[in-house]
Chains A and B, each alone.
Chain A
Amino acid sequence: MFACIYVPNFPIAAALRAEPELQAHAIAIFEGKPPLEQIIAVNEKSQELGISPGMSKAQAELCSDIVLRPRSALQESSSHSALLDCAQSFSPTVEDTARDTVLLDLAGMESLFGSLTKISHAISDRAAALGLAATVATASNPDVALLAARGFSVALASCRLSREHPSTSLRTGLAPAREGTPNLRVIVIPPGKEAERLGPLPVEVLFDDHLQGDPKKAADHLLETLARWGIRNLRALAALPEIALSERLGQQGLQLQKLARGDASRTLVPVEAPLAFEEAIELEHPIVLLEPLAFLLNRLLEQLCARLASRALATQELCLTLELSNLTGIDDEFENVGIPSESDGVDRNGVMWGQPPSAVRRSEAPLHHRRQPKFTRKLSLPLPMLDAKVFLKLLQLDLNAHPPGAPIVKILLSAEPARPRSAQGGLFLPPSPEPEKLELTLARIAGIVGEQKVGAVELLDTHHPEGFRMRRFVAEVARKTPQKKTPDAAEAQAAVTALRRFRPPLRANVTLENGQPTYLVCRRKEVQGEVLWKAGPWRFSGDWWEREAWSRDEWDLALRNGEAVAFYRLVHDLFAGEWFIEGTYD
């Protein structure tokens, strides 16, 4: 068995997927160079208003209730990828038939998903979740499924437009009703009933809508011939005598008749859809505020996550590319000279984020900034995740810290797919922070204290007193049982004298007697006084082969300041000859 997923009126469907709030509006898609833009696609509401493909944009604009959108190759590409993702989530054998049509082999899928009707409904639901209103047809033959999907959607659309009920013969091809409402987008044709179900469809279904040039002329000629013969639907074509048809139309005629009877057979040409997950929006008017940007990002992220979920994948890296408007007046030929890179896109001080373009003085933007129209941010996650809300919040926090600096005209969001993490918490294992929540928390805390001041510590292989660096804190579900040590040994090791560092160290004036510190004065009042006890010096040095060589003597001191006694570490920098209090033992 085969299934065909067909998205009727694909340019409109792609536009509605990007802007779902336009579902209730009359919408028309135009393309072409101004002022010769032409309407290429309209939805039913536009047709009711009298707008039809082929009209000029100026004509369509006379209607005040219509929403006009330019044709977007990016949106159509994203929609096509979503269509492939939908098909791939059900079957590994998928044929990329056309931009709006995908065929898939359902052999053996009944045991996984149930009956053909259930599979068809599931495919339709999955497509709807991905933002596509698709017609799904299943049949024993790929061509029959294709003809049914295209033919029934066209016939039903014309019925809706003319406010007529579909004829009984047309309704017999539809799938049984589910939950009390008939699903007009699911067609199931049982084996042996192909010719009967395809019969009412018009003969125009046999020819692709996207034909151009000579093939289109030939198709028009054939249709004209059939019309002269009085052949209006596939049932009439299927009933013609084969020899007579062959004598008049040749092999092409016979092939068309086989299609009309549902007898044609062929094998699918499977494609392996690339694991590229990208969503994009081109904006008619530049965005200058974070709130509307977050609104659009949310939509893109939801679509992206739905696509990833349909392929049972998650993501560990999100890349946001914002195309900024050219505020500088420089010619377009210079516009792409800039080097798009992470976080360096535009200086924050160059152009004020959140101001309308008119509020920005052109002279304020340095020349090298003018040539960077793209702003890229990469969001690396410690673990694969799939939560649009978490992604949105992380992107918002990141953009708050690193604003793009200029109005945005295009948003491109891509995700690097990764296998979702499979971790199972143990009943007897200690709890650990939830990775999604933790990542958000860390991002928020980084916004409070600074990015470099949050994380886990990693000790470096050096004797340098500050030989450590901060790295990302990752909380994974414990896979091993906690270390088992004998209590005595563990506790004996734990109670160690700790050092608290002063960052930066406190400069001190030290009184020496016989080379030993006896009195100490410091700006901090509580860290000065008579040296009660001392030990040292311990000499440390390192990095003598580098410019950053260091050498110093360290002392441990007990200082008496009034009644208080405290222990400190005193450091003598041998190169600079200065004394510092590095920390206190506590």
Chain B
Amino acid sequence: MSSAVVSTSAALGRPFLFDAEPEPEARCHPERSGNCAKRISRGVEEPALSLPKGPLLSPDPRLASILPASRLEIRPAPEMVTSGIPALDALAGGLPRGCLTEICGPASSGRTTILLAALAAATRRGEYCAVIDASDALDPYSLAAAGVDLDHLLWIRCGDDIPQKVPNSAKKSAGAPPLSRTLRQGGVFDFLCEAPLPLDFQESKLEGSSPRCKGSASPGKSLLYKRSEHRLEQVLRATDLLLESGGFGLIILDLADLPPQSARRIPLTTWFRFRRAVEHKPTILFAIEQQPIAGSCSSLLLQLGMPSTPDVMRLESRTMKWKQIHPQSDSSREAAAWESPARQCRVSLEKGNESRRDGTDFGDITADDAPNVLHIARPAHTHLLTELQFHAELIRSRLDRKPARSITFETKTAWAG
């Protein structure tokens, strides 16, 4: 559309005209749809009056095919759906269907919280969702705690699934521990022995995986460069296939743990293709990453801020307050380790504390009780993270061209380890 506008204006030799106060595109509100209709009718009639008369207006067959910008069809405003977080909905109007939405921010900035909230809201609507997890980082218990219907969620775990031999030099240089050594006999860490390389080893080498290092890289670096490419390729191919398949209400690209220099290697044409693939479809394409990488292909861009030191101080004060209320819990740190939530639940029941009874298998406290966590004898796991504040800033929105605004929203911990 923009190229057509430029060529028409340049050909006619008149300056570009800008609206004094650009109106946002029509949303689903009835009164705005009326304005939209007026704009369309005005746009059809005006150019005939304002076009200069001259030799350029002669019936030239080459110019006949050029449509004035004002006559171009106005793109219909996308349908907006809730993101699951009221504050975000108030800021951005929700998530647009048929568009690409980017959420970027550093670690612990609330990207995954928004992801889970959007997933929960979509599955509550009965839609099928897909998460393309570039780093295999999603936690199923967090999903369940956020209220995501797991039957409606397709999880694609990308990673270095292809067994590849690691040169001995690379292992030595990284100082990686011998992988064959079992950390524990079984248990949670068993899968360490099956992984081809520990993630920290891979990530530490990703600095050397940028294309500029490609030529001079050692064999180990070139291998890691290939692995990084392999993971990105998995993400892009899986996304292409899912978009082609159709039928999903929400498709999420989780690139949050990919270093920005790796994520930026995704060509802009790919994002453009993705945007075109979801256009005019009820699918929401949603990407979380550390830095914005899709450029103008994204219709909505939210930047999240990292937690600040005052946030941490507030947590500290909460912890101290809790310790003042229950000083005996801190008397013997090793022996009086805070017990598992399930046991806490049993203890509280034994004490007849029926009013604070826990309803979940994990002995967790329900969302309604979360603000009262300080009154609980022993707080459940991660309860001290309750009311953690995240800061979101609206950088770009196709619907709203007002200056950037920001909000702060809080999370509640309805989940325990």
**Cα–Cα distance between A498 and B339 once the two chains are bound (Å):** 21
**Cα–Cα distance between A481 and B299 once the two chains are bound (Å):** 30
**Cα–Cα distance between A490 and B341 once the two chains are bound (Å):** 24
Residue pair B124, A483 in contact (C-beta under 8 Å): yes
Closest to A478 in B: B126
A490-506: contact bitstring with B at CB < 8 Å (1 yes, 0 no)?
Answer: 11111111111111111
- Please tell me if B127 contacts chain A, counting CB pairs below 8 Å: yes
Q: Which residues of A contact B142 (CB under 8 A)?
A: 496, 498-499
- Please tell me if A386 contacts chain B, counting CB pairs below 8 Å: no
Quick one: which of B143, B200, B385 contacts A523, CB cutoff 8 A?
Answer: B200
Given known contacts A448-B237, A463-B342, A538-B417, A550 and B188 CB-to-CB distance under 8 angstroms: yes
A-B contact list, 29 entries, CB within 8 Å: A429-B126, A430-B128, A431-B247, A433-B248, A456-B154, A457-B140, A459-B144, A493-B414, A494-B85, A495-B84, A495-B85, A496-B145, A497-B411, A498-B112, A499-B141, A501-B138, A502-B137, A503-B137, A504-B198, A507-B177, A524-B203, A537-B338, A550-B187, A565-B308, A565-B309, A578-B183, A583-B137, A583-B139, A586-B113
Residue pair B138, A500 in contact (C-beta under 8 Å): yes
B243-260: contact bitstring with A at CB < 8 Å (1 yes, 0 no)?
Answer: 011111100000011000
**Cα–Cα distance between A516 and B362 once the two chains are bound (Å):** 25
Minimal beta-carbon separation of B372 from chain A (angstroms): 14
Best-surrounded residue of A430, A492, A569 (most CB of chain B within 10 A): A430
B310-330: contact bitstring with A at CB < 8 Å (1 yes, 0 no)?
Answer: 011101100100000000000
Q: Which residues of B contact A433 (CB under 8 A)?
A: 128, 245-248
Residue pair B150, A491 in contact (C-beta under 8 Å): no
Quick one: which of A449, A483, A549 contacts B238, CB cutoff 8 A?
Answer: A449
**Cα–Cα distance between A534 and B83 once the two chains are bound (Å):** 31
Closest to A482 in B: B126
Q: Which residues of B contact A465 (CB under 8 A)?
A: 188, 417
Residue pair A567, B307 in contact (C-beta under 8 Å): yes
- Please tell me if B234 contacts chain A, counting CB pairs below 8 Å: yes
Q: Which residues of B contact A566 (CB under 8 A)?
A: 106-108, 306-307
The stretch from B6-14, B56-64, B115-123, B213-221 touching chain A is B115-123
Given known contacts A515-B334, A550-B188, A497 and B385 CB-to-CB distance under 8 angstroms: yes
- Please tell me if B337 contacts chain A, counting CB pairs below 8 Å: yes
Residue pair A540, B106 in contact (C-beta under 8 Å): no
The stretch from A67-75, A325-333, A434-442 touching chain B is A434-442
- Please tell me if B275 contacts chain A, counting CB pairs below 8 Å: no
**Cα–Cα distance between A481 and B127 once the two chains are bound (Å):** 11
Q: A466-B191, A482-B124 are in contact. List 14 more A-B contacts (CB 8 A).
A: A445-B238, A454-B155, A457-B153, A494-B120, A498-B116, A501-B137, A502-B199, A503-B137, A504-B192, A547-B186, A550-B187, A554-B381, A576-B184, A586-B256
Given known contacts A449-B238, A549-B187, A575-B187, A496 and B146 CB-to-CB distance under 8 angstroms: yes
**Cα–Cα distance between A501 and B334 once the two chains are bound (Å):** 26
- Please tell me if A162 contacts chain B, counting CB pairs below 8 Å: no
Q: Which residues of B contact A515 (CB under 8 A)?
A: 333-334
Minimal beta-carbon separation of B25 from chain A (angstroms): 24
**Cα–Cα distance between A539 and B380 once the two chains are bound (Å):** 11
Minimal beta-carbon separation of B91 from chain A (angstroms): 14
Minimal beta-carbon separation of A390 from chain B (angstroms): 12
Q: List the 8 shortest-distance A-B pairs measured between CB atoms, nearest first.
A: A548-B186, A433-B247, A550-B187, A482-B126, A566-B108, A523-B200, A498-B112, A586-B112
Minimal beta-carbon separation of B317 from chain A (angstroms): 10
Q: Which residues of B contact A506 (CB under 8 A)?
A: 198-200
- Please tell me if A209 contacts chain B, counting CB pairs below 8 Å: no
- Please tell me if A427 contacts chain B, counting CB pairs below 8 Å: no
Residue pair A490, B128 in contact (C-beta under 8 Å): no
Quick one: which of A475, A507, A569 contacts B247, CB cutoff 8 A?
Answer: A475
Residue pair A441, B109 in contact (C-beta under 8 Å): no
- Please tell me if B384 contacts chain A, counting CB pairs below 8 Å: yes
Residue pair A504, B109 in contact (C-beta under 8 Å): no
List CB contacts (< 8 Å) of B380-417 with chain A.
Answer: 381-382, 384-386, 388, 409-415, 417
Residue pair A448, B245 in contact (C-beta under 8 Å): no
Residue pair B367, A498 in contact (C-beta under 8 Å): no
Residue pair A496, B415 in contact (C-beta under 8 Å): yes
Closest to B283 in A: A431
List CB contacts (< 8 Å) of A428-476 with chain B.
Answer: 429-434, 437-438, 440-442, 444-445, 448-450, 453-459, 463-466, 468, 470, 473, 475
Closest to A554 in B: B417
Residue pair B244, A441 in contact (C-beta under 8 Å): yes
Best-surrounded residue of A433, A493, A583, A584 (most CB of chain B within 10 A): A493
Interface set of A (CB-CB < 8 Å, partner B): 429-434, 437-438, 440-442, 444-445, 448-450, 453-459, 463-466, 468, 470, 473, 475, 478, 480-483, 485, 490-507, 514-516, 522-527, 532-533, 535-541, 543, 546-550, 552-554, 556, 558, 560, 564-567, 569, 573, 575-576, 578, 580, 583-586
Residue pair B247, A573 in contact (C-beta under 8 Å): no
The stretch from B28-36, B41-49, B157-165, B263-271 touching chain A is B157-165
Q: Which residues of A contact B199 (CB under 8 A)?
A: 502-504, 506
Residue pair B141, A459 in contact (C-beta under 8 Å): yes
**Cα–Cα distance between A550 and B174 once the two chains are bound (Å):** 29
**Cα–Cα distance between A433 and B248 once the two chains are bound (Å):** 6
Closest to A450 in B: B161
Quick one: which of A434, A470, A514, A553 contacts B155, CB cutoff 8 A?
Answer: A470
Best-surrounded residue of B115, B117, B187, B309 (most CB of chain A within 10 A): B187
Residue pair A493, B246 in contact (C-beta under 8 Å): no
Residue pair B411, A495 in contact (C-beta under 8 Å): yes
**Cα–Cα distance between A173 and B263 once the two chains are bound (Å):** 77
Residue pair B140, A468 in contact (C-beta under 8 Å): yes
Minimal beta-carbon separation of A155 from chain B (angstroms): 56
Minimal beta-carbon separation of B178 from chain A (angstroms): 12
Quick one: which of A503, A537, A580 contacts B337, CB cutoff 8 A?
Answer: A537
Best-surrounded residue of B188, B388, B413 (most CB of chain A within 10 A): B188
- Please tell me if B350 contacts chain A, counting CB pairs below 8 Å: no
Q: Which residues of B contact A429 (CB under 8 A)?
A: 126
**Cα–Cα distance between A432 and B245 once the two chains are bound (Å):** 10
Residue pair A558, B315 in contact (C-beta under 8 Å): yes
Q: Which residues of B contact A455 (CB under 8 A)?
A: 154-155
**Cα–Cα distance between A429 and B126 once the two chains are bound (Å):** 8
- Please tell me if B195 contacts chain A, counting CB pairs below 8 Å: yes
Q: Which residues of A contact B188 (CB under 8 A)?
A: 464-466, 550, 552, 573
Residue pair B155, A456 in contact (C-beta under 8 Å): yes
Q: Which residues of B contact A569 (CB under 8 A)?
A: 417
**Cα–Cα distance between A375 and B138 once the two chains are bound (Å):** 37
Q: Which residues of B contact A492 (CB under 8 A)?
A: 367, 412
Minimal beta-carbon separation of B123 from chain A (angstroms): 9
Quick one: which of A494, A523, A560, A580 contacts B189, CB cutoff 8 A?
Answer: A580
Closest to B89 in A: A491
- Please tell me if B292 contacts chain A, counting CB pairs below 8 Å: no
Residue pair B381, A538 in contact (C-beta under 8 Å): yes
- Please tell me if B340 contacts chain A, counting CB pairs below 8 Å: yes
**Cα–Cα distance between A564 and B312 once the two chains are bound (Å):** 12
Given known contacts A449-B157, A453-B156, A500-B139, A539 and B337 CB-to-CB distance under 8 angstroms: yes
Q: Which residues of B contact A453 (CB under 8 A)?
A: 136, 156-159, 161
**Cα–Cα distance between A491 and B334 once the two chains are bound (Å):** 38
Minimal beta-carbon separation of A522 from chain B (angstroms): 7
Closest to B259 in A: A526
- Please tell me if B19 contacts chain A, counting CB pairs below 8 Å: no
- Please tell me if B151 contacts chain A, counting CB pairs below 8 Å: yes
**Cα–Cα distance between A480 and B316 once the two chains are bound (Å):** 46
Residue pair A456, B312 in contact (C-beta under 8 Å): no
**Cα–Cα distance between A464 and B155 once the two chains are bound (Å):** 20
Q: Which residues of B contact A575 (CB under 8 A)?
A: 184-185, 187
Residue pair B409, A495 in contact (C-beta under 8 Å): yes
Given known contacts A449-B238, A453-B156, A586 and B109 CB-to-CB distance under 8 angstroms: yes
Residue pair A444, B200 in contact (C-beta under 8 Å): no
Q: Which residues of B contact A454 (CB under 8 A)?
A: 154-157
Q: Which residues of A contact B272 (CB under 8 A)?
A: none
Residue pair A576, B183 in contact (C-beta under 8 Å): yes
